[in-house]
Amino acid sequence: MSEGSKGSSLAFGQVVIGPPGSGKTTYCHGMQEFMGRIGRKVMVVNLDPANETMPYQCAVDIAELITLPDVMENLKLGPNGGLIYCMEYLEANLDWLQEKLAAFRGHYYLFDCPGQVELYTHHDALKNVFAQLAKWNFRLAAVHLVDSHYCTDPGKFISVLCTSLSTMLHVELPHVNVLSKMDLVEQYGKLAFNLDYYTEVLDLSYLVDHLASDPFFRNYRRLNEKLVEVIEDYSLVSFVPLNVQDKESMRQVMQAVDKANGYSFGDQEHRSLEALMSAAVGADFHFTSTLAVQEKYVQSQDKAVEEEVMDL
């Protein structure tokens, strides 16, 4: 994997990014298990220097190079400044990363990244690391996880859309935005619209109107309209819903990422995937609430339309 070598074989993988608590580590664990079941050789690279407990099998760990607690203690930095320093230190020591990754040729790579949003919207260290990986013939897709409970709050959802768009433009990788923890979405409130409205990011004027019904946001209608215009003008942001414990949901995300980074699997993996999907539901994949949530809101919308017709 020498730099600029045209003869090096291609390597495929995902960089898993997103805000703190969005489920990045859980996603890496679930995707490692899911891909392992269909015969894909997959390894996880932990690039989060603050990640002390990892449920997955970690092949490469940035803690061997640098850790956030050490940086905070020795340089008297806070957690945000410490994370930025760690990523700059990684960028300055890419030979360490190259040597570690070279030991796993032929694998599919999952990069578990830190949760500081500024690293993906403003700072260049991780962006430069990803660019260097591309020079080493890595074909990567960014999987940007967002907690699905933001859908229950229109103001927060607009903020999430802005963050996702900014991340897509800054990171400069093929991008798959994911609404994580779909099985928990209703614990935070009811969705104002059906699930497709949020995943496909449909006409956002309805969201602005919904916000305007709140006295607090009424004074900010003009601002929200302009933010929505920016999002719709780029027309880049859409989401794939994810429940890590639902194998159909995992399959949809995996196929979206494979399409984004150009990964093409062979007949054996295809047969293994078909066998896994048709097998009796096991203990690890026993929830179907992603579909249940979607069906519920589609049905409720149809019922509302029927009631409107009856009123007329």
pLDDT of residue 192: 83
pLDDT in tens, 154-206: 889 999 999 999 999 999 999 999 999 998 887 877 888 888 999 999 899 98
Alpha helices in 123-266 (DSSP H): 125-135, 154-171, 195-199, 205-212, 215-218, 221-234, 247-261
Query: Is 309 inside a domain boundary?
Result: no
pLDDT of residue 72: 96
pLDDT in tens, 275-293: 888 875 544 444 344 445 5
For the chain, what is the total number of helices (H) and then of strands (E)? 14, 7
Token reading at 44: 């996880």
pTM (2 d.p.) = 0.85
pLDDT of residue 212: 83
Segment 66-79 shows an average pLDDT of: 95
Query: Is 166 inside a domain boundary?
Result: no
pLDDT in tens, 85-129: 999 999 999 999 999 999 999 999 999 999 999 999 999 999 999
**Those residues with Cβ within 8 angstroms of residue 201's Cβ, 6 or more apart along the chain or in another chain:** 161, 231, 237, 238, 239
Query: Is 159 inside a domain boundary?
Result: no
Query: Is 103 inside a domain boundary?
Result: yes
pLDDT in tens, 17-38: 999 989 999 999 999 999 999 9
Query: Is 228 inside a domain boundary?
Result: no
Residue 267 — very low, low, confident or very high, per pLDDT cuts 50/70/90?
Answer: confident
Query: Is 87 inside a domain boundary?
Result: yes
Domain that holds residue 63: 11-151+172-200+239-265+284-292
Query: Is 288 inside a domain boundary?
Result: yes
In one letter, which amino acid is 185?
V
pLDDT above 90 (res 15): yes
List the CATH number of the domain containing 73.
Answer: 3.40.50.300
User: Of 85, 80, 66, nearest to 115 (Cα)?
Assistant: 80
pLDDT of residue 16: 97
Segment 304-312 shows an average pLDDT of: 51
pLDDT in tens, 207-254: 898 888 888 788 888 999 999 999 999 999 999 999 998 999 999 999
Number of domains in the chain: 1
